[in-house]
Structure 1
Amino acid sequence: MHLKSYLSLLIILCCVSQADAQLNAQVTGDAIDQGNNCYTITKDQEFQVGGVWYNNPIDFDTDFTIFYQNNFGFRDFDGADGMALVFKDNPTPILGDPGGGLGYSGITPSLTIEFDTFQNTDFGDPVGDHISIMRNGNPDHNSGDNLGGPVLANGTNQNIEDGIAHEVRIEWDAFTNTLSVFFDCLLRLTFTADVKNTIFSGDDTVFFGFVGSTGGNTNIHEVCFNRVSFVDNLQLDDEVICENGAVQVDASIPSGFTYSWTPTNGVSDPNSPNPVLSPAATTIYTVTISDVCGETTTEELTVTVKPFITTEPVFNPVPPICQGDSLNPLPTTSMDGITGTWSPELNNSITTTYTFMPLTSECAPETTLVIEVIPSEIPIFTPVDPVCPGEFLADLPITSNNGITGTWTPGINNMVTTVYTFTPDLGQGCATLTTLEILITDPDIPTFNPIDPICVGETLEELPTTSNEGITGSWSPALNNRVTTFYSFEPNPGQCASDNVSLEIQVIPISQLSIDIDLSSEAFSENQVAVINVFGGTGAYEFQLNNGDWVEENTFSQLQGCEEYEIRVREISGCSNIAIENFRVLDYPKFFTPNGDSRNDSWNIECLKDQVGARISIYDRYGKLLASINPSRLGWDGTYNGAFMPTNDYWFRVEYLNKEGQPKVFTSNFTLKR
């Protein structure tokens, strides 16, 4: 088993020349602090080196004894390498070489007690696990630095790598300058020399620590520090109990083997390390502790028995506080000198009963104290409606709705939104500050639906006196249906509305329109186009052809036939007459069917029937004149010299006057179908 589980160590204060000193340890290298002053110096791994050093000085002019335990692991045949106790001239943690150097090789000046578990023949190691005393960090037994040994650590067994914690005691006798090494309670090695002067050059502050290492072979190495003679290994605190009371004490120490308490009166078990003590009167107890090697130590403690106080501790009452006010800590000592603690924690939000619990040693009863917390009273005021910038703002009331008087800050400001703070006058209980915000709002801008333009003299409805936002007011000037006018809206007072609002009503004069029709395409073309020109008015017109839809485009295309077209024009606003004009376009039939059915039996250009001077000549494909006709008379019947002409295309030539009265000639062809 590990040494840590073998003993749990307790380092306590003491004692001789360095009384009340504490041992302060610092690990280095591969060492691990296990707690309870036990350390893993190396793990069971190759080439580990670790140590633990103490900064407590030792003076070799004074006797001292060091007790500790070593566990060298459980590997015997292939285990290595061991541990050492090292004295050196400073407290700085340091490590020497691993392997056969045991972690101390090279540390100088030094005095080392080594426990070597591996035979390094080049160092003169004997067979078996051994102890030796070396100087100046030299592990070679063949050198002059070998001061004592080597000797077997166990006189009857060469192996100490057995997984067991072994007791080690190092004694220094300053009078005889003798260093003694005990292993498992037996003296194994001594060395006599003036260590202080010959090794440490007269230095009276030498420091110690434990080191260890592995090499190619391994073992776990552990050390538990037990005690040193100049540090008290047990320090029992005196106890105070109340009459008929009891207290349990713990006198156990790592090296403790047997315990004996005197006197035995009031002791639950005189041979226990942690008995319950219940004396009837104040008593001084002594405990004698023996370790496994027969070494003894004693310690005393006094158990004071106090009579029980029947009266409750007395405290001054705490005046009531307002909710949220600071609350000073309650005194931990009563007016009659009794100390203790309070619970629960102070609470400045609600009335609370606090309990005072005297310390056990006071032998006094508990008591309570009530601290009243008065709820805060918040002044209440009627909210102030928002106002417009610059609008009159009355002073705020200095008495709240619930009767609290006070003052407001800052002064009233009717230009910007402001938060005002009300501070209650003194002497009104737990009245608190409160705030009131007065909004200074931007004026609302009234909006109205636009009014469509009207024609001069048209009836004009009265303008609405309430805006889309619900703002009421009046308009000026009076309505006028004769000329375009801007009207201004004046909001009624008290509405925080802008008065910079206007509305235009456009009054359009009545226009007298006339039109001219321009047939922009050639006569008889496939796409006859008419462009309507308008005179008079505003220029915003709409047009209607033959009672069709009104459109804003003044050009009409794809006109055909010889029927008469009617065009109408008006102002889009409706503020005008409707100008009307009729016109025709020139066109000719593309075929005829002279088959005697009285439908389409002859061919002519009826669009020219009003031109008595127009002449039409008809030819066959070879240019032979077949007929000459007048548009105002019957057309060609499809015969020549009384014979029916066959189905075919025929050509014509027409002589006519255009709309300007100028003579024109047009030629094209048509089809005769039978």
Structure 2
Amino acid sequence: MSRSTGFIMVLLCLSLLAKAQLQTPYILNGSATQRTCNCYVLTQDVNKSSGTVWNKNLIDLRNSFDYFFDVNLGCKDYDGADGIGFILQTKGTNLGATGSGIGFQGISPSLGIIIDTYQNSIDNDPSYDHLAIQMDGVTDHNAINNLAGPVTALDGNDNIEDCKWHIFRVKWDAAVMQMTVTMDGVLRLSLDKDVVHDIFGNNPMVYWGFAGSTGGSYNVQQFCAALRPQLDFRNDQRFCIGDPIVFRDSSKSFGTITRWQWDFGDGTTSTVSQPGMHQYAKPGVYDVTMVIEDNSGCISDTMHQQVTIGTYPVAEMSSHPLCLGRPLTIKDATTLDVGTLTEWDWELNGHSASGQNIVADFTTPGTYPVKLSVLTKEGCKDDTIQMLSVYNTPSISASGHDACIGDAIDFSGTNLTPGVALAGWHWNLGDGNTATVKDIDYTYKAGGRYTAEVYAVSKDGCFSDSFRIPVKIVDIKLDAGRDTLIAKGQPLQLNAVATGDNLSYSWYPPTGLNDVLIPDPVAVLFQDVRYVLIVNSPEGCVQMDTLLVKAYTGPEFYVPNAFSPNHDGQNDMFRAIAAGVPQLDFLCVWDRWGKEVFRTSELTGAWDGTFKGQDSPVGTYVYQIQGTDYTGHKFSRKGTVTLVR
């Protein structure tokens, strides 16, 4: 490296050192470290530590000051650190006690505005995170050195160890000797005192700075000499397309702001503190950014703020037909391309109302003017007046009746408000079927109880209340029994089945019956008889069923001598008729070689002419049948049967 090159490097290092000194106008003690140009960590997340940061330049308390800081007390609440304090004192290298001392205890003379985040009973701390103004390094709130407080550090919140940055403002008015403390823009403490005389022995020149400490519990605790870019607008500023937008700088900075860099999100920028009016060419949501730099050379983070330039709404309202006796709901139907609707103001029927949707209080039919005014969050307005009609609501009744299964019911609707013209009727018949006529003849397919329901709609679109008609469909479900056969003279118990109470029965003809007026008479027959059973219900419903009883000489087995299992529906099965034989022991069939091809013990059992799923050959087969007659005696028959196809 040449001598000239080395000289240049030395000059560059000296320049960087000078700039670093410009950006670090503080004396750091104990655990304090510099994090960024304008931000300092008082304590790390370790126990029993203490740190102080003192500005190198003495200030004169005969002059007023207004300081803004950002403070962060960490993220742990119940097991967090002890707190930090803004302190005025006379020695730049002071380092106070750890733990409950908050880096302030033992510094005298001093004035401390303490943000205390740990309850220490020795100092008579309240349970919440609190603010207090104290003097001469005394942290006991019951001591005379406690000048103001304690109060909650945050307005309405007991905890400031919330990981968030808070704006901490300390203002000294030298003329009236008043000190005020605000947190996030809310006044928390005020002290009226001649601090120069009472605390500093008439010495107005003091250092200022921050102290913090941890004890058995700990948090990262830090502060920044405020360098927070911020903008605001006039209270009457509108954000509608076509309106000029006045941007105002309201940044918070400990030092003097020397540079601004604005970007309005539409490709235009500015470098002045108060850029004044700016007009956007089209509606939309714009990301406005700002960066500031203070007189120590520190540059802020970039502020981002969304600004919505809204369109004007087109006020509109909608309503279903407004029908008296129903909620007269009028709904907002305003259209808006960009922005957010926030206010709806209505004027109707001689009074005003608010809300996106309203219920009108009209009591008579007619046509009424209704005014709607809408306002967006961006301040854009529109209004409309519409004529809305109010109609009478129809009232109806309907009739129907009970019926027997298979009979039609005459359902009929009646308009009780003849002055209201109806456009249609709507029936729900309770079984899944509907109809849209005034009168209907309807037959239910199954017995039971149903509720038919009907409503009408007026030509104005107003719906009547529904009218309900309960109906009962009577189905006796009569079953006289299966056709059967008996031996002549054999008693046969009949057993008809029907549904319903207080039914009346009538059998015809009365041949062989012991009682024709009951559902279960006993029949003794010597000839075939087809009975007719008629049943009447109390509602007047009548059902009829028949029962054929064949009488054979018996007990006897009647067996055919041939059958043809060719699936033509004629004589396809080989079966026996067992007259007077209620119990079958067996019916067996053998081929001519003596192989059993069929067996059953069921009275209704029959051979279909197959063996193991295959058609048996034509020919002659031997059968035997045995059973027990109705007197309890066994008897059997043997014979042959011919299978033909």
* TM-score normalized with structure 2 length: 0.35
Bigger Rg, which one: 1
* TM-score normalized with structure 1 length: 0.33
Higher strand residue share:
2
